[in-house]
Amino acid sequence: MPLVVFNQKGGVGKSTITCNLAAISASQGLRTLVIDLDPQGNSSSYLQGDTAQENQPNVAGFFEQSLSYSFRPVPPTGFIVPTPHENLFLMASSPALNELQTKLESRQKIYKLREAMKLLSEDFDRIYIDTPPALNFFTRSALIGAAGCLIPFDCDDFSRKALYTLMDNVQEIRADHNPNLVVEGIVVNQFQARANLPQRMVKELIEEGLPVLQPYLPSSVKIRESHELSLPMIYMDPNHKLTQALVALHAELLALRAA
| Predicted pLDDT at 259 | 66
- Asked if 150 and 187 count as a contact pair (C-beta separation under 8 A), the reply is yes
Type of residue at 162: A
All domains in the chain, ordered by first residue: 2-258 (3.40.50.300)
For 51-70, give one letter per residue: b (16+ CB within 10 A) or e: ebeeebbbbbbbbbbbeeee
The Cα 219–Cα 190 span in angstroms is 4
- Give me the phi and psi of 41, to 5 degrees please: 70, 30
**CA-based radius of gyration for the chain:** 18
| Predicted pLDDT at 138 | 97
Q: For each successive 10 residues of the chain (259 residues), what is the average pLDDT?
A: 90 94 98 97 94 88 90 93 97 95 94 96 96 95 96 84 88 94 93 86 91 94 95 97 97 85
